[in-house]
Amino acid sequence: MFRYGSLMRRAGVGFGRQVRFDSSVSVSINGKVSEVPKGSTIIQACELGGVEVPRFCYHERLSIAGNCRMCLVEVAKSPKLVASCAMPVMDGMEIMTDTPKVKKAREGVLEFLLVNHPLDCPICDQGGECDLQDQAMVFGSDRGRFYEYKRSVEDKYCGPLIKTIMTRCIHCTRCVRFATEIAGVEDLGTTGRGRDTEIGTYVEKIFGSELSGNVVDLCPVGAITQKSYSFAVEKNIQSDEYKKSALSPRNQPTFCRASAFEELVSFDVKPKQAELQH
């Protein structure tokens, strides 16, 4: 049965929502006391206090889903960790974002997200600009504990602008909430439960909104990418109108200081890697 789910529709306080704050409350974030607007969520309070909290499903312009659990933080006198994107602040609340308990929880969440995620970062269009990749560098392990076969999901046809590789999807539902709440088109949704959950369109129809291309920027991984850019890379089209991958080498000319003649050389530069070419 095709469903959207109450969590995906549950409205929350976000930066993009017009909420009037009549007063402020005092909260402690990692031992530092800050004044934040009453009604803010913990993740908003942390951002106002200059503390970064990792997230995948949360977006300031969309309703709160609270399904990725990457934003878990510790609150004093709370028996369990809380999802900072959904929990409103209260006066006198003590919030801790960098305790060993929080770090261990985030490592566990990320490990589960990577169980079925393919190891294709070098060929992924999102490589170098991927939120999952960034968080894996901080909270990920250098080895996995799961030896079962990875789940494979059939790609969906969502229109002429969007390329999908749904095996990479982490079910953050950003695209679903954008389609429903911003584009006003209830074409995207989730089917199945547990490891069988998939995101797709209703009875295989295309995502026909004129705003459909925006889900490419919303996707935190490489599950939804720009189809025109993908074809440009496959055809080796070298043009300024096509964006290069963040992992693609950049050619940087310079002079060789070790040479008596200061001969001209160039570097093909990759992140944390350089290869000298004469």
Query: b/e for 106-121, b at 16 or more Cβ within 10 A?
Result: beebbbebbebbeeeb
Closest CA to 223 of 86, 110, 56: 56
* Residue-level pLDDT at 207: 83
Alpha-carbon gap, residue 170 to 57, rounded angstroms: 9
Alpha-carbon gap, residue 199 to 151, rounded angstroms: 14
Confidence band (pLDDT; 50, 70, 90) for 16?
very low
Q: Could you please state the CATH topology (level 3) that the domain comprising 119-245 is classified under.
A: Alpha-Beta Plaits (3.30.70)
HEC assignment per residue over 244-260: CCCCCCEEEEEECCCCC
Alpha-carbon gap, residue 151 to 15, rounded angstroms: 35
Q: Is 272 left (phi over 0), alpha (psi -120 to 50) or beta?
A: left
Q: In what order do the strands lie in the sheet with 94-96?
A: 32-37, 24-29, 94-96, 72-75, 82-83
- Cα dihedral angle (110, 116, 121, 123), rounded to 10 degrees? -160
pLDDT surpassing 90 at residue 203: no
CB 186 within 8 A of CB 167: no
Lowest-confidence segment of 1-5, 133-137, 163-167 by average pLDDT: 1-5
CB 167 within 8 A of CB 114: no
**Owner of token pair 């997230």:** 55
Alpha-carbon gap, residue 227 to 232, rounded angstroms: 9
Alpha-carbon gap, residue 60 to 44, rounded angstroms: 9
* Residue-level pLDDT at 103: 95
Alpha-carbon gap, residue 22 to 18, rounded angstroms: 13
A 10 A CB-CB count for 172 gives: 26
Lowest-confidence segment of 10-24, 94-108, 156-170, 259-273 by average pLDDT: 10-24
* Residue-level pLDDT at 243: 47
Provide the token pair at 17: 């929502």
Lowest-confidence segment of 26-30, 92-96, 123-127, 176-180 by average pLDDT: 123-127
Q: 6-113 and 119-245 share one CATH topology?
A: no
Q: Could you please state the CATH topology (level 3) that the domain comprising 6-113 is classified under.
A: Ubiquitin-like (UB roll) (3.10.20)
pTM comes to: 0.74
- Cα dihedral angle (165, 166, 172, 177), rounded to 10 degrees? 90
Provide the token pair at 113: 């997200």
Q: What Rg value do the Cα atoms of the chain yield, rounded?
A: 22
Confidence band (pLDDT; 50, 70, 90) for 57?
very high
Domain ranges of the chain: 6-113, 119-245, 248-278
Of 188-192, 208-212, 233-237, 257-261, where does the model show the most confidence? Answer: 188-192
